[in-house]
Structure 1
């Protein structure tokens, strides 16, 4: 019996199962806006780009099934308009337990930084509590003590992995950069200990490898871990009336050894590109998206979204298209 001869109800059941499987691949959620001015709200809900379901490429009947199914609230995939693609593109909601959450030095203050014990960051605590894989750009990783301990202790107790993202997987580039505006993934940088370049360091120029930068951040965390934990215990006891460390329940911090239990890796973005023959390919995503340090943290208005861009609904329009990068 051929597939086409099956009853419509059975075919639709098979299509629905295939549709769910098509969007189960882990994706990267890039917190937007990519630069905040201190008061700019973080765009919600949190969404990720997905590949077009394979069903859409089989025949017109299957394509119509996908497009009609995506209108249902229970559909695993939906569509929104992309200015760059000039068509509607698929997306789904961020799954914090399997997807990767990316925040950078330009928006982490509003997105993931837990300034106080009861602080509600732009990415809600309920979402952060389920995050297992966090990605940050390398400039933010130069001072991991500024954000990671309080993030683990106050919001993200079961974090497992931190990817330190660089502008390229092929060469060491010591520059700030913009996250890709297209659908992207993170790729582990192989041989990062051999990818080195000269960079400024304490008013000197030194040869530094990408792996060294990752390891240096991890070493800083290990060195200051105990004092940071003791300070957190003190805050909980005197502010929240919770003596001892019983309030912390999670796997990212070993209370007995007073040590972070995290995996660190160097990574780089690759972005989706369709080749001339229609095949799916992935290319370097940020080598041509470098920005000046002064535009990264200073120069108010540079790289920040306009009020009109902030008003865009991410479920109707792909906000990542709205770079707002006017350099």
Structure 2
């Protein structure tokens, strides 16, 4: 199913490239756009994860640098039956996280310092389990490639607007050029939204199963959504094509479902997780997920309460 989605996505993006090329230069422009599309698709397949991590300002951390966080991710990966992914930290006050990689063997998970500082240990586990569910479902390939190609389409549209044909008889003419710069990135964004919105519910459920803590994940979503509204994420603002990768839209100003939202309604996601916690298989889950302590504080030993997070 995911392979089919990837194929349909690449076909849609390629068709958009061809349409832009034809508008800019008829058959010649279409052939050039096709070549650009093929190169972009290949580049995205092998390099989209690196591009996304770079755009997000993520830094890989070793087990020595963050032993507790590494141990948490390793335990969750084992629960999910996945290889250990690379672990990244984003120096960002907004609590958030995402996963990327073309397959489970080349996956990476990234969390902001705000997530590690502001959420409880159980909530962080729920979030990282959600990201590993994306890896397990192979959503990361689709989403990373979408982010890369969406940005490329925006670049191509801008290039066409600035340097496109000035021939009044060219397809679309001046009005077509203006429509190009507006509609091409919009079409790519809609593809991103359609993918992200449908995959988040599946990753929520998968993450709850991996961690065994649906209410912790529900609590984390609530707190991350609040943080996303209050704290600006500069990297995401500068690179909006990566917004759909995060567990909560880092650009979100509201929590409502709409045509132009990259994520499902947070309240709807929380309701689904709460319903999951009420299922017989999660009868004991209601007892967890409500702590407001920092994730790296040890309640049994007050002397450890001021210990810094595992990123340094």
TM range (shorter): under 0.3
Scaled by the length of structure 1, the TM-score of the pair is 0.25
Scaled by the length of structure 2, the TM-score of the pair is 0.26
* More helix by percentage: 2
